[in-house]
């Protein structure tokens, strides 16, 4: 399967393929589509484009041409304006207009962009549609060709940033889409090892099974010890010779989440193969950063576990001594991701003494209630970092909404009678996403390091439960721009 970027409009129509043209109304009224489509095909849209009923959401027109090339044309028309909390790149709308592309063997996507810098964001929307994981018996390889044009019809070149970030999104979607019997903790670790093998300046380390206990990582060990494959923490360290700043990127890598002994209802368990979307985003961003020679030392840390049920599963009422030295009384084994991340952050914060920590996770269902399916919720202990995240989110399409950071208001939710804290809140109506973030932060709150928590339970998956590659652009930009 291939995603190919074109820099010329000559001879680009696919043989026996479909064409998808997406842009604002102005582009079509300026007849830019006529420069690509055969005249007889362009004429099929003439009446529809005279008086399109365009409101706050996109509209689309589709026609079967009766020709062998192209056999189908889909025209998606986007509103000229977006609200203040929607990305001006219109990335989500571009993605929605390409829904039918996943049934096509060969496709051409023509993107009409208001601004050339939008190409990176919109290209990643196309990249989501490649879908490398297809276990149908008669599945065929698919090819998507992509070209971007400006408001005058001039080609916008697909630079290295466009290509590289799109490649990372394709990879992240692939690992999220893999079924859990294929992407086990062992398999995920092997995938990571292969992805970063041979990259100069990048080292790979795994802490597996009982060695987690030796390193004081009893939280990760507890969550994963009930599964057939041992839990582990994977650390990738990229250290340029001239690096002056250090950034830690940490991700939740729960390859499947049953809820543990606090068993999820059956319907809620479907889709939990994507509970490692945070780890995928961290690793995709890390790969992009080091291949593009990020000037900082960057450490990527992911906790890879399966939250399974078995004779060795951790239990409600267990007390875990975390890497931070604090103790956690388990009152919900389905609040496991925060335990994994807390150990990752405590370990990396104390070992590497970074100038910035960013963690990403599909952490709480409450995030979707609070900020929706398309905006992640972010929590930060620094106002400037929070504001930068919001700005970068709008510019990239990885949109975020800041949530409260007020540890003193939420710490009572975690009171335990016999330990330093429990792992799940008493009152589920009291800012759950902020409370979950507070639990993680409490295991490094003595260090005062700039920190951003990204809860991406909603935007990490499509409505159908497949990966989106959300977070890769956001995390890579913040790493480069904050420190």
Catalytic residue among 72, 211, 213, 264: 264
CATH 3.40.630.10: which residues of the chain?
167-482
What's the Cα-to-Cα distance from 458 to each of 194, 363, 388, rounded to whole Å?
A: 29, 10, 21
CA atoms within 13 A on the CB side of 22: 27
264 tagged catalytic? yes
Q: How far apart are CA 248 and CA 479, in angstroms?
A: 9
- Whose structure tokens read 């959401």? 57
CATH 3.40.50.10590: which residues of the chain?
2-158
Looking at domain 167-482, which of 1.10.357.10, 3.40.630.10, 3.40.50.1580, 3.40.50.1370 is its CATH number? Answer: 3.40.630.10
pLDDT at 1: 60
pLDDT digits (tens, 9 = 90+) for 207-244: 999 999 999 999 999 999 999 999 999 999 999 999 99
pLDDT at 409: 96
Q: How far apart are CA 327 and CA 307, in angstroms?
A: 20
287 Cβ contact partners less than 8 Å away, ≥ 6 residues apart: 168, 171, 195, 196
Task: Please say whether the structural domain 2-158 has been given the CATH code 3.40.50.720.
Answer: no
Q: Which ranges of the chain have pLDDT less than 70?
A: 1
pTM: 0.97
Terminal CA-to-CA distance of the chain, rounded, Å? 37
Q: How far apart are CA 467 and CA 459, in angstroms?
A: 9
3-state secondary structure the chain: CEEEECCCCCCCCCCCCEEEEEEEHHHHHCCHHHHCCCHHHHHHHCCCCCCCCCCCCCEEEEEECCCCCCCEEEEEEECCCCCCCCCCCCHHHHHHCCHHHHHCCEEEEEEECCCHHHHHHHHHHHHHCCCCCCCCCCCCCCEEEEEEECCCCCEECCCHHHHHHHHHHHHHHHHHHCCCCCCCHHHHHHHHHHHHCCCCCEEEEEEECHHHHHCCCHHHHHHHCCCCCCCEEEEEEECCCCCCCEEEEEEEEEEEECCCCCCCCHHHHCCHHHCCHHHHHHHHHHHHHHHCCCCCEEEEEEEEEEECCCCCCCCCCCEEECCCCCEEECCCCCCCHHHHHHHHHHHHHHHHCCCEEEEEECCCHHHHHHHCCCCEEEEECCHHHHHHHHHHHHHHCCCEEECCCCHHHHHHHHCCCCCCEECCCCCCCCCHHHHHHHHHHCCCCCCCCCEEEEECCCCCECCCCCECCCCHHHHHHHHHHHC
Q: What are the backbone angles phi and psi of residue 273, rounded to the nearest 5°?
A: -65, -20
161 tagged catalytic? no
Q: How far apart are CA 90 and CA 92, in angstroms?
A: 6
Beta-strand relationship, 327-329 and 319-321? antiparallel
pLDDT at 223: 98
């Amino acid at each position: 399967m291939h995603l190919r970027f074109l820099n010329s409009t000559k001879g680009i129509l696919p043989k026996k393929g479909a064409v998808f043209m997406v842009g604002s109304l102005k582009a079509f009224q300026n007849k830019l589509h006529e420069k690509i489509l055969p005249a007889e095909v362009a004429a099929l849209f003439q009446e529809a484009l005279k008086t399109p009923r365009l409101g706050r959401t996109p509209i689309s027109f589709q026609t079967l041409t009766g020709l062998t090339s192209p056999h189908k044309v889909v025209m998606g028309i986007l509103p000229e304006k977006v609200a203040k909390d929607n990305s001006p790149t219109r990335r989500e709308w571009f993605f929605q207009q390409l829904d039918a592309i996943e049934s096509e063997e060969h496709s051409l996507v023509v993107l009409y962009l208001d601004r050339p810098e939008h190409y990176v964001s919109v290209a990643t929307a196309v990249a989501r549609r490649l879908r490398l994981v297809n276990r149908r018996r008669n599945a065929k390889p698919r090819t998507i060709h992509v070209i971007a044009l400006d408001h005058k019809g001039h080609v916008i070149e697909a630079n290295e940033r466009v290509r590289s970030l799109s490649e990372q999104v394709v990879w992240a979607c692939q690992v999220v889409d893999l079924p859990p019997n294929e992407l086990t903790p062992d398999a995920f670790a092997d995938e990571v090892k292969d992805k970063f093998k041979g990259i100069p300046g990048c080292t790979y380390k795994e802490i597996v099974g009982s060695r987690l206990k030796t390193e004081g990582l009893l939280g990760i060990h507890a969550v994963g010890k009930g599964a057939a494959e041992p839990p582990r923490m994977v650390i990738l360290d990229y250290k340029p010779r001239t690096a002056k700043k250090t950034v830690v990127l940490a991700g939740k890598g729960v390859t499947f989440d049953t809820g543990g002994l606090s068993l999820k209802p059956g319907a809620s368990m479907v889709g939990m193969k994507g509970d490692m979307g945070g780890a995928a985003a961290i690793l995709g961003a890390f790969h992009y950063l080091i291949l593009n020679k990020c000037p900082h030392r960057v450490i990527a840390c992911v906790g890879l576990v399966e939250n399974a049920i078995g004779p060795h599963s951790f239990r409600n009422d267990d007390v875990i001594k975390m890497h931070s030295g604090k103790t956690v009384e388990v009152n919900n084994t389905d609040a496991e991701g925060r335990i994994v991340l807390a150990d990752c952050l405590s370990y990396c914060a104390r070992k590497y003494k970074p100038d910035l920590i960013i963690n990403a996770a599909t952490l709480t269902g409450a995030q979707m209630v609070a900020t929706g399916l398309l905006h992640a919720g972010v929590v930060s202990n620094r106002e400037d970092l929070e504001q930068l995240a919001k700005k970068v989110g709008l510019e990239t399409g990885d949109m975020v909404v800041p949530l409260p950071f007020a540890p003193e208001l939420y710490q009572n939710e975690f009171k335990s009678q016999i330990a330093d804290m429990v792992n799940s809140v008493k009152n589920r109506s009291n800012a759950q996403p902020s409370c979950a973030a507070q639990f993680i932060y409490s295991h490094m709150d003595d260090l005062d390091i700039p920190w951003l928590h990204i809860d991406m339970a909603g935007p990490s998956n499509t409505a159908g439960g497949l990966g989106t590659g959300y977070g890769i652009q956001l995390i890579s930009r913040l790493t480069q721009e904050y420190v």
